[in-house]
Each structure stands twice: as structure tokens, then as C-alpha cells.
Amino acid sequence: MTHEKTGKGSFINLLIPPKVKEVRITEVLPCLAAEDRIRVVGNTGEKLSDLLPVIYLYLPQATYSRESDSVSFMFEEHLITIFGEGKITATNLKDRGEAVRILNYVKDMLNRAAVYVSRHGTPSPELISSKPKVSPIEINKILPKKDCGECGVSTCYGFAVKLALGESKPSECPHLGANSQKELQRRIHFIQI
Ligand code: SF4
């Protein structure tokens, strides 16, 4: 068993004491999906159950199970699962450095979710069940239709798909005005954290 601390948190930690201070990598295992890849198990040492519905409502394509007390989602090409007991798993990683980067991303998101809960409480079952599906077709209607590739994707529709999956941010398109960015944020994330 190996232990490695992920790095310091985001600026949010400077404003409110972060709930998750670190994610320790407790296991490094072969990835079942690809021979040359690894998967890791991390542990935050914190109970996370109250944050999972927030993550579910924030990320457009996340799945949430109250029974298994977990939320799962894709980030880049990694399947990430966060468990209420404090454990985080991530797959399809090229090395430990990438694992640290991904776990830091999750840690920052959990801390933003903790800020949300401190302000609004844990989302009600009604709110959880009212999350709409995000449609790439609807998102594409707001994009500039230049197909210039400057966002790293060759077409606007391809970028819309990535936005709908929660893998890109509206700010990655340099041709979007502030109002369009705001509108996309509103459509992509059912709640903002
Ligand atoms: S940078 Fe913007 S305009 Fe260009 S392809 Fe990407 S989404 Fe379309």
C-alpha cells in the first residue's frame, strides 16, 4: 500500500476552511480497461455523503446512487467514483502524476460542494429528482458556429458534446461573449458551485 498526498487546494481554501484537506493515494492497481494504465484508490478521511447530491446536480452527466452512497462521472477519459465513506477511485491513468492531478480536481470540487452545503443545505429529494438532461443540440445553438478549432475540438458541435459531458468549460471558446458564457453555465450545471 502506498501513500501520497495531493497538493494544496484552490483559492477557495483561503476563504473557507476546506472540508477535504488532502486525498491520500492508498492503492495503485492495474487498470482493467488498458494494460499500460493504472487505477487508483484515494481516501479523504472525511465523510462525504452530504456532498454527493451536490456533485450530482453540478455535473451534467453524473450518476448518483443513494443506496450505494456514491456518485460517478467521467472526467477527461477517467471514470471517477466518490463514495460517501470518503473513498475516491479513478481509472485509466497514465501515471501517479496524472492521478494526483485528477484527485486534486475532485478535491477542489468537493470543497466547493461543501461551501454550497454550508450555504444552502443538502439538496432535497425533490431537487435531486428534478435535474434535467443536458442536450448537446441545445448547447450547440448558443455556440458561434465557426468550427475554427481554437477550443481544441475541430467543430462547435464536438465542443457542445464535451460541454454536455462536463469535460470542457464555456470559457475555452474564445469567441463566446460574456452573456453566452453565462447562459451556457446555467444550462450545463443545474446548480452552480
Ligand atoms: S473555439 Fe468556439 S467557435 Fe471555434 S470550434 Fe470551438 S466552439 Fe466553435
Our answer on whether the CB atom of 48 is closer than 6 Å to any ligand 1 atom is: no
Task: Output the CA 175–ligand 1 centroid distance in Å.
Answer: 7
Our answer on whether the CB atom of 151 is closer than 6 Å to any ligand 1 atom is: yes
Site to probe by mutation for ligand 1, drawn from 146, 176, 180, 184 as the one with most ligand atoms within 8 Å of Cβ, is 146
Residue pair 34/93 in contact (Cβ under 8 Å)? The answer is no
What pLDDT does 167 receive?
84
pLDDT band at 11 (very low <50, low <70, confident <90, very high): low
Task: Output the CA 152–ligand 1 centroid distance in Å.
Answer: 8
> Looking at this protein, which amino acid is placed at residue 115?
V
Task: Output the CA 67–ligand 1 centroid distance in Å.
Answer: 40
What pLDDT does 15 receive?
64
Go through the domains of the chain in sequence order and give each one's CATH number: 12-129 (3.30.310.10), 136-188 (1.10.15.40)
Residue range 30-36: mean pLDDT, rounded: 90
pLDDT above 90 for 72: yes
Residue pair 161/168 in contact (Cβ under 8 Å)? The answer is no
Q: Each residue of 73-90: pLDDT tens digit? A: 998 889 999 999 999 999
Our answer on whether the CB atom of 175 is closer than 6 Å to any ligand 1 atom is: yes
What pLDDT does 40 receive?
98
Q: Each residue of 59-68: pLDDT tens digit? A: 999 999 999 9
Atom of ligand 1 nearest to the CA of 148: 4
Listed in sequence order, the residues at least 6 apart from 62 whose beta carbon sits closer than 8 Å to its beta carbon are: 55, 56, 71, 72, 73, 166
| Torsion of the alpha carbons at 52, 58, 63 and 69, rounded to the nearest 10 | 0
pTM summary value: 0.85
pLDDT band at 3 (very low <50, low <70, confident <90, very high): very low
